[in-house]
Structure 1
């Protein structure tokens, strides 16, 4: 399993508001399916970050393209494979 960090910079504020609940439901389902490790918004309102778990980059991109934010043009995206390092002091 590999991890992919996806930056979701703001593209359309109104569409982001309109599709937020669908986006969050999508991410919840993906977390339940163990396809999303974690996600969250940037506190400055510029967008958000999703960490996908996938076998390949193509698989991660296919997950990403199902996100309502991407399908509806609310956000742009940038993806990078991410080598996760853990801190034993944190209990995830």
Structure 2
């Protein structure tokens, strides 16, 4: 493993330790001697890894789709009604 991969692995491991610690980010950083913005950055990176495309699957309740809203990772929202072809085009635009 190269140095960048080792650092990434260490930081993601710290994120998991923070999540299980019950401490605030500030408390955790003070205890481990790291900067708060560094931990915050790696928390964001770990979230991206769990959803690499930026999209998450949402299933309708009772198989009744009333409207579909696509929310891009940058916050832009597009209402697509129930037109699945339009939803597909919107996803592929990203």
Q: TM-score, normalised by structure 1?
A: 0.26
Q: Which has the higher strand share?
A: 1
Q: TM-score, normalised by structure 2?
A: 0.26
For the pair shown, the structure with the greater C-alpha radius of gyration is 2
Q: Which has the higher helix share?
A: 2
Higher RCO, Cα 8 Å, sep 6+: 1
